[in-house]
Structure 1
Amino acid sequence: MTNVWIALVIGNSRLHWAEFSSDRLQKTWDTPHVNQDQVQLLHELWIASVVPSQNQFWQAYDRAHFLSLEQVPLQGMYPTLGIDRALAVWGAIQTVGDPVLVIDAGTALTLTGSNGDRLIGGAILPGLKLQFQSLNQGTAALPLFSLPLSASSLPHRWALTTETAIASGILHTVIAGLHSFIHDWRQIYPTSAVVFTGGDGNLLHHYFQDLYPNLASSVKVNPHLAFNGIRAIRKNNELFISN
């Protein structure tokens, strides 16, 4: 019988799902946050959550396994480290090896580095959408500008409209900041892999190709790092139980 199971990462804005058959990833999809009436599952479910208020909807599901930070075999983690960041790094180690720097471009934009099985540290700033939203919500005159998901090139740095000035300010600053972090990281770990993940990971990588093509060629994109981390922990758990 096929061993089908589901991984669920409860993010700040959405639910991120993955279906596995044994260790093979079959498909991924995203949905809005749910209420109790929407919870209908048939498979084993492995959950990592950064939104405690969503956890209650899955507590009664008898095939659910809630992952905690203590189950991620990284050394040097601090108590408030997000489980999503820890899983993405652990998934990156399984995928591309170490040392590794993971840049997760979700609701929050996070950088997390590890060497061997030890967390080195990282940084957190608002994600792209949050930065656009904050200008609209915190000012009287600036519009809400939505960045086209298909955008393939950066806006001109010296903009002549309010919308493109917002895009220029946010995007050029974010890209320059990420470039600085990557440069600093590789000064310490010259052979390190760098991986973009998260909903805006592909978009940021496209922008890097515009400004820093040589650097972009050595940076990977993998939207499934957290799921890879869950898979590795689940597999290790099965081996532990079987022994």
Structure 2
Amino acid sequence: MGPVPAWLPLERRVLSGDVPLGDLPAWLGVDRALGAWWAWHQSGAPVLVADAGTALSLTRVSAEGCFAGGQLLAGAALQLRALGAGTAGLPGLELPVALPQQRWPSATAEAMAAGVLRGLAAAMAQAAREAVAEAPCCRLWITGGDGELLLPLVRELLAEGDLQVQPAPALVLEALAALRPDPGR
């Protein structure tokens, strides 16, 4: 999440401490706090929120609505740029519009995209399995700019389980609107 615009008055700004999520560490970003709180608030159950953007943040919330930890990984675009910048002979890529059709592409760019996207989906699916092992009724919420791209892969990986996967592309904005419903506030 970028910097807060200077024109936004201090009294209108939402800070992490304004989010009613228990055991919230002071260092947690307001976007993660908002998304985690709103997913839990709507679920009424433990949640794991996967926010797939520049970073993939995985944020757990307990059944009681308390922050329960998380994990962070480089997001898809960041991984693709790192591969191009840090490896001889690999191109610098922008995030693909769609997942390559083949599981094992022979073209370099498609192989990079398939590996990064499938790797992120696998990380999300594994984190969800681990969260469910600790809280059996945990639900996975997927949001963020790359969420829609990763959702089918995650669902494919979790197809045999009972884990509920909830797509929520506007999760943080919905949370912000719920927390501050009066625009004059």
Say which of 42, 55, 80 aligns to 2:5. Answer: 55
Question: Which of 1 and 2 has greater Rg?
Answer: 1
Taking a change above 3 Å as real, the CA distance of residues 164 and 216 of structure 1, as seen in their structure-2 partners, is: farther
1:178 matched to 2:124? The reply is yes
Structure possessing the higher relative contact order (Cα contacts under 8 Å, 6 or more residues apart): 2
Q: 1:200 aligns with which of 146, 158, 181?
A: 146
Q: Alignment RMSD, CA only?
A: 2.7
> Identity of counterpart residues, as a percentage?
33
Structure 2 regions of 5+ residues with no counterpart?
A: none
Aligned match of 1:142: 90
* 1:220 aligned partner: 166
Gaps in structure 1 of 5+ consecutive residues: 1-10, 12-50
Relative distance call for 1:208 and 1:155 in structure 2 (3 A) is: farther
Please point out which of 169, 173, 176 is paired with 1:230: 176
TM, length-normalised to structure 2: 0.86
> Is the strand fraction higher in 1 or 2?
1
> Conserved in 2, the CA contact under 8 Å of 1:205 and 1:216?
no
How many residues were matched structurally? 184
Tell me how far 1:111 sits from its aligned partner: 0.4
Name the structure 2 match of 1:35. Answer: none
Partners of 2:80 and 2:161 in 1: CA distance: 26
Q: Is the 1:94–1:232 contact (alpha carbons within 8 Å) kept by the matching residues of 2?
A: no
1:228 Cα deviation after fit: 2.2
- SS of the residue 1:55 aligns to: coil
Q: 2-side partners of 1:100 and 1:211: how far apart?
A: 18
**Pair 142,106 (structure 1): closer, same or farther in 2 beyond 3 Å:** same
Flag as ranges the 4+ runs of structure 1 deviating above 4 A.
none
Q: Distance in 2 between matches of 1:216 and 1:190?
A: 10
Q: TM-score, normalised by structure 1?
A: 0.67
Distance 2:85 2:161 in 1: 35
Distance change >3 Å, CA 160–CA 229, structure 1 → 2: same
Specify which of 69, 77, 85 is matched with residue 16 of structure 2: 69
SS for the counterpart of 1:168 is: helix
- For 2:162 and 2:121, the matched residues in 1 are separated by 11
